[in-house]
Amino acid sequence: MEELDLERRVSEYIRELPFLWVDVDDEPSSESDRAYIERNMIALVSNVDTEAIDPRREDWLGHDSPVTEIKQSGLWNINHVDEDYQPEFLETFESYIDRMPGFA
């Protein structure tokens, strides 16, 4: 029952967050641009083994998680949180943003 309550609280919080949808319309695969951007974006914002530049607030729900990677990374997705990002991925990401209407 505790897990269900936590999941509901997380869902309520996420619903209130602003977001930007970036269209990366390539064939899904582990080698796709979509996977490349996702992998590197997660690695970039993860706090695993680094000093947090955007530390989570004291009341962040992840502090109560039994999953070490969630507590350390500050993210709910634990894939790629312990990887180093490749700075050149930002150029790929930017190229997709530039293709979007209103962002060129």
**pLDDT in the model for residue 14:** 85
Sorting pLDDT into bands at 50, 70 and 90, what band is 1?
low
Q: What is the pLDDT of residues 8-27, one digit of tens each?
A: 888 888 889 888 889 998 99
- 3-state SS string over 16-32? CCCCCCCCCCCCCCCCC
**pLDDT in the model for residue 47:** 92
Sorting pLDDT into bands at 50, 70 and 90, what band is 104?
low
Amino acid at 20: L
Token pair for residue 22?
């970036």
Distances (CA, A) of 29 to 17, 41, 42, 88: 28, 17, 17, 20
- For the entire predicted model, the pTM comes to 0.78
pLDDT at 91 over 90: yes
- Domain regions of the chain by residue span: 18-98
